[in-house]
Structure 1
């Protein structure tokens, strides 16, 4: 079945960066049903601001799709039957489709660490974290688990917004270890300036009411924020779509499931491999281009295979600083970095482009 057949029933699961842009592109020429429980875009790359009480209400999905033939169903997909071409929703209804766009993204991976899911606050619940900090009787100690971009952004933003709190960042490897030597050195300088205690090579083995147990010893913390890693939503694997060892759906060069070609998979849920680049990492930088490409494909505006090359990685380091790390097309590090005001403005500009593209 062609993905550009006129009059087809297109259902998009998920309104993140990939799902929303794919729906908007397809909605130029087709009627699209967009299934997502939220009323507003989540804008994941700015959750650290929400955690620090600096966030704001982002545009509603209705505002972003009002010029397209898109019907927003505020529900969750709970089951997928590819053989019957049906999706079951949590409101008890079933949607039939000719073409399905699976863009359910990723969620916090707890890795079976005892106490983590029960006691830690995940990055997805940034607003709840802000409420817990605000409700505290007095400043305390907060540990951010995860030395990648999400953990770094949370630790720096929270330390800057709440200087009376002792903020720690805990990583199983090196904090900012993915960046070049210059990039990582700058991250460490900013963390030191903000008074963030760094615990590296400390794998968390348990979260307790008093903090963390790690391979490097106990770490005290009244609040724990879990930003260690992400895992794809399990619905694709449960429905029988071919997935890799991480649970990401395997797709061809037109972002179609290799096992079910009437299902397109984009964003964090997809294991997209590009020649000369490799399998793309999860994140906004890869999800948005996939959604844009698929929107054009479904609208009949392109028939070319999906292509992609990396250019930069960027990370916020509080309100006054940032890091723009230049990378090669395969995402490996170049030595060039932009830091301080230049890095902050570059990150802000990129985030602005993301929001503008969604509009």
Structure 2
């Protein structure tokens, strides 16, 4: 009988993990099922582009995984029982509930926008953490008349990309950015300087050291009581993980992320792996990896490789998850590549301008290519699963690492 592997979620991390497992393992030994609610891959790093009216290339999963042996199941995950090793899903077509059994689970359900409980945010703000939100914002921006105010709340990477993209695409709008700290305070002096120049050139009003405490239909209110006009508010203050993991007996962090070891395996349930935003994984300097494509993709490679090694009796890979740079698009013509230490701290060096924009575009295209071609560019030798004549079982932690 085949070893049943279920991958939940087909964002960057989940899709990459499914494809890499298909490349590493023999079809006669394993059955890989990829569960996702949408039929197409979502380039999450381009949602600010989608929101401003740009059209993205469709990437259907059925085409991407055709011939790989990965079975795509379009369904919404509603529950996970890690003690019974089952997943409950609601089929996208019939809306019927179904229970799927697994031997190994790769949890990659990702994250969504985080309102932080700020009053009025859920009712009045827009988000770009996914395609539905980006499309709603796209429709709303298209209806705005010249001179109307747009406020982007959040001075992180997503906020910077959203504010600059909107300001470049709609120079007739009054675009503002509200940042809790100073603008780009984590960047190098060169990076901060370039960021300020770009914002000034695009006419973006920057409210620094400003916490937004309420969102209304036509304005936001800051901690000091200031009212900032906003026909549209875009909320980009971070991400919150899918709540399903917290409802299980998995060990999770305060943020609801699944706590994993250095091989991306759950510390409480060795048949569960977590990748992407759903995982609380420690990186260099004993710092948690941040929620990002830059963390999720290499973590997915590592999880797939370690799971495959355990199933086949191979040697566990010794991968080091680290950072090299932060890539920020500042519209279509400007960019910022901030080089960082292994634990994600900015160094002096930074690439700016048009060349940085091209660099970021290549990174985005490379990430999408890796998902769209899940079994290309890797060794073709596949080892048989240990004990595949019956139901292959994963070795214990002691056996696997002996």
TM-score class normalised by the smaller sequence: over 0.9
Matched, 1:332 2:342: no
- From 8, 11, 14, give the equivalent of 2:9: 14
Distance in 2 between residues matched to 1:229 and 1:180, nearest whole Å: 22
- From 106, 113, 134, give the equivalent of 1:126: 134
- From 103, 107, 111, give the equivalent of 1:106: 111
Distance in 1 between residues matched to 2:158 and 2:270, nearest whole Å: 33
| TM-aligned CA deviation for residue 57 of structure 1 | 3.0
Write out per-residue CA displacement over residues 57-100 of structure 1, whole angstroms, 9 at most, x where no aligned residue: 33111122113111111111111111110111123111110000
Aligned residue runs from structure 1 range 275-290, under 5 A: 275-276=284-285, 278-290=287-299
Q: Which moved more, 1:347-356 or 1:101-110?
A: 347-356
**Match for residue 19 of structure 2?**
24
**Match for residue 275 of structure 2?**
266
Q: Which moved more, 1:179-188 or 1:110-119?
A: 179-188
Distance in 1 between residues matched to 2:142 and 2:186, nearest whole Å: 33
**Match for residue 159 of structure 1?**
167
| TM-aligned CA deviation for residue 185 of structure 1 | 1.6
SS at match of 1:189: helix
Matched, 1:321 2:326: no
Q: Which moved more, 1:305-314 or 1:46-55?
A: 305-314
**Match for residue 87 of structure 1?**
87
**Match for residue 72 of structure 2?**
72
> Gaps spanning 5+ residues in structure 2: where?
91-95, 374-402
**Match for residue 234 of structure 1?**
243
Counterpart contact for 1:25–1:299, Cα < 8 Å: no
RMSD: 1.5
| TM-aligned CA deviation for residue 295 of structure 1 | 2.4
Matched, 1:187 2:192: no
Distance in 1 between residues matched to 2:283 and 2:325, nearest whole Å: 17
Counterpart contact for 1:231–1:246, Cα < 8 Å: yes
Q: What TM-score, normalized to structure 1?
A: 0.95
Counterpart contact for 2:284–2:342, Cα < 8 Å: no
Distance in 2 between residues matched to 1:201 and 1:99, nearest whole Å: 46
- From 206, 222, 228, give the equivalent of 1:219: 228
Counterpart contact for 1:314–1:325, Cα < 8 Å: yes
Counterpart contact for 1:146–1:227, Cα < 8 Å: yes
SS at match of 2:182: coil
Pairs aligned (count):
354
- From 250, 260, 264, give the equivalent of 1:255: 264
Aligned residue runs from structure 1 range 158-177, under 5 A: 158-177=166-185
Distance in 1 between residues matched to 2:237 and 2:194, nearest whole Å: 21
Q: Structure 1 residues 302 and 145, CA, compared in 2 at 3 Å: closer, same or farther?
A: farther
| TM-aligned CA deviation for residue 137 of structure 1 | 5.1
Distance in 1 between residues matched to 2:267 and 2:241, nearest whole Å: 17
Write out per-residue CA displacement over residues 277-333 of structure 1, whole angstroms, 9 at most, x where no aligned residue: 622111000101111222223333761244212111110011111000011111111
Distance in 2 between residues matched to 1:35 and 1:330, nearest whole Å: 32
Q: Which moved more, 1:298-307 or 1:318-327?
A: 298-307
SS at match of 1:88: strand
Counterpart contact for 1:47–1:55, Cα < 8 Å: no
Counterpart contact for 1:277–1:329, Cα < 8 Å: no
| TM-aligned CA deviation for residue 199 of structure 1 | 0.7
Distance in 1 between residues matched to 2:160 and 2:262, nearest whole Å: 33
Matched, 1:299 2:294: no
Distance in 2 between residues matched to 1:302 and 1:322, nearest whole Å: 41
Distance in 1 between residues matched to 2:286 and 2:366, nearest whole Å: 23
Q: Structure 1 residues 275 and 330, CA, compared in 2 at 3 Å: closer, same or farther?
A: closer
Counterpart contact for 2:155–2:178, Cα < 8 Å: yes
Counterpart contact for 1:46–1:55, Cα < 8 Å: no
> Gaps spanning 5+ residues in structure 1: where?
1-5
Matched, 1:38 2:24: no
Distance in 1 between residues matched to 2:364 and 2:181, nearest whole Å: 28
SS at match of 1:157: helix
